[in-house]
């Protein structure tokens, strides 16, 4: 069977970019895949237009894996037992705490929401399935960063451009690293009204059978000064460990 060369090159480019969290330039793609620059440029430009890759513009354009690629991957994941396994647990958890529960995974230096479970009378949350937010100011992103391997963590943090969403948003790398240290000590993370002034979120990591951080779950709620968010954090951590066990994780945080 004769294979289409352009299709082959497209798949090779996507695979290479997906293995390069820090991003790849056009020169990187041409050199590593032995591609003509014109052909490679036409392919990545098309992929960028379709949302399959992201483009960071600078002295040289840097390509990273795009949200559409993740959505396609998530569609594949939905056909596996993974989502089917955690879905009933997180749906029940949402009803138990009476708050919105999310499950998210990392994409570059952002977190993508792939599941959302709401109680009977949910509060309005801006995050929707398929949307993404920065890691440094979300509870999901913070725990993913805190429990990622050192090299991968450094790659993700190096790409962060710190933006102030509220007066409580983490401002720089130094404060982020201090926060991640606290996350490791507690086992859970807070979005303490850092993305939205009225919203407080608590997140905890979910691990796969090999002990790698797969993603995280979070509980989102309207901020109430009298609420015990440390207690909620411990509850979210307990549920995240339960989900991790269902996925084959046998270790400890």
- Pick left, alpha or beta for residue 57 (phi over 0 → left; psi -120 to 50 → alpha; otherwise beta): beta
pLDDT, residue 1, reads: 63
State residue 222 phi and psi, 5-degree precision.
-65, 140
Low-confidence ranges of the chain (pLDDT < 50): 79
Quote the pLDDT of residue 124. 63
Q: Would you state the pLDDT for residue 203?
A: 96
CA-CA distance, 1 to 91, in Å (whole number)?
46
Within-domain flag for 174: yes
120 plus 58 within the same structural domain = no
Full domain range(s) for residue 240: 70-246
Domain termination site, one of 65, 88, 103:
65
> Are the beta carbons of 130 and 113 closer than 8 angstroms?
yes
Of 32, 65, 98, the one marking the end of a domain is 65
pLDDT on residue 2 = 75
CATH number of the domain residue 98 falls in: 3.30.450.40
In angstroms, what CA-CA distances link 17 with 13, 70, 151, 231?
A: 6, 13, 17, 41
The tally of domains found in the chain comes to 2
138 and 47 share one domain: no
User: Are residues 125 and 30 located together in one domain of the fold?
Assistant: no
C-alpha separations of 186 from 40, 152, 175, 243, 245 in Å: 46, 21, 17, 18, 19
**What pLDDT is stored for residue 139 in this prediction?**
96
* pTM for the structure as a whole: 0.69
Q: How many CB atoms lie within 10 A of CB 69?
A: 20
CB 127 within 8 A of CB 102: yes
Co-location of 86 and 166 in the same domain: yes
The CATH number assigned to the domain holding 46 equals 1.10.10.10
The confidence score (pLDDT) of residue 75 equals 65
d(CA 101, CA 121): 13
């Amino acid at each position: 069977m004769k294979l289409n060369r352009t299709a082959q090159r497209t798949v090779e480019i996507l695979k290479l970019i997906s293995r390069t969290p820090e991003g790849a330039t056009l020169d990187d793609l041409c050199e590593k895949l032995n591609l003509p620059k014109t052909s490679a440029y036409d392919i990545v430009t098309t992929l960028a237009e379709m949302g399959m890759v992201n483009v960071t513009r600078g002295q040289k354009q840097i390509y990273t894996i795009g949200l559409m690629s993740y959505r396609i991957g998530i569609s594949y994941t939905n056909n596996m037992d993974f989502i089917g396994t955690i879905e009933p647990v997180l749906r029940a958890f949402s009803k138990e705490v009476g708050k919105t529960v999310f499950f998210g995974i990392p994409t570059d230096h952002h977190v993508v929401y792939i599941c959302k479970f709401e109680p009977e009378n949910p509060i309005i949350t801006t995050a929707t399935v398929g949307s993404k937010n920065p890691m440094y100011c979300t509870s999901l992103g913070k725990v993913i960063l805190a429990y990622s391997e050192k090299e991968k963590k450094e790659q993700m943090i190096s790409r962060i451009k710190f933006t102030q969403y509220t007066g409580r948003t983490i401002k720089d790398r130094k404060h982020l690293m201090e926060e991640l240290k606290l996350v490791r000590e507690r086992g859970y993370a807070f979005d303490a009204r850092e993305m939205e002034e009225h919203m407080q979120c608590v997140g905890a990591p979910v691990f796969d059978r090999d002990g790698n951080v797969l993603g995280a779950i979070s509980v989102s709620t309207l901020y109430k000064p009298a609420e015990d968010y440390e207690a909620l954090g411990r509850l979210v951590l307990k549920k995240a460990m339960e989900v991790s066990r269902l996925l084959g994780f046998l270790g400890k945080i």
